A and B are shown apart, each in its own frame.
Chain A
């Protein structure tokens, strides 16, 4: 079964540094998402992306965050200047028809900001 793949599985960075989290969504999917889960908290929506533009973003997704689909297969989340509170598990997801189809999640990237 096709799956969403994320790299790296664990990223450690120092506060203030830029990080790029990478995802390869399922190949025929058209909608792409980033979610995060801070340890002990809920899974939270960050951003949705369709047709090469952001379709919705949460309050968490401020100017420090950006997303990009640089080619036909990758989908990236960039955090420009990481803060300690950005430490979380970041999940990429994709779906083929958006809001009324299930999201398929990757196994996540654990980001640790020191």
Chain B
């Protein structure tokens, strides 16, 4: 099941620079996307979401971009901080009504170096 794919298992950036995490999906029926951050021994923590009626959503240092024609979304973190080091998951709601089912990508491990 590869409906949501994060092709980069890891990313390393310098503190203060931009982190860009990418995610691709295969099903054009997906209409709501979320990014979660996960630290070791903790559950996923919600970061930011975007509906398919938008192409950008911003919340502080985090911006999510959605390109529906390319079935691609990205998360930008500017400026990156060492505390941002974590696993980042992209997730999609498959449009299955109101059940809240999410399909997750494999995750990208972000390391922000001081």
> Could you list which residues of chain A lie within 8 angstroms of chain B, going by C-beta atoms?
4, 6, 31, 33, 35, 41-45, 48, 50, 55-56, 58, 91, 93, 95, 97-108
Q: Does B63 touch A at the CB level, under 8 Å?
A: no
Q: Does B106 touch A at the CB level, under 8 Å?
A: yes
**Is B43 in contact with A105, judged by CB distance below 8 angstroms?**
yes
A-B contact count (CB 8 A): 71
Instruction: Select the residue from B36, B41, B96, B99 with max chain A CB neighbours within 10 A.
Output: B99
Least distance between B48 CB and chain A CB atoms (Å):
9
- Measured as residues with beta carbon below 8 angstroms from the partner, the interface class of chain B is 20 to 34
**Is A48 in contact with B43, judged by CB distance below 8 angstroms?**
no
> Could you list which residues of chain B lie within 8 angstroms of chain A, going by C-beta atoms?
32, 34, 36, 41-46, 49, 51, 89, 91, 93, 96-107
Contact residues in B for A55 (Cβ distance below 8 Å)? 98-99
- Other than A42-B104, A43-B44, give 9 A-B pairs with Cβ distance below 8 A: A42-B107, A43-B91, A48-B100, A91-B43, A97-B98, A99-B97, A105-B44, A107-B41, A108-B42
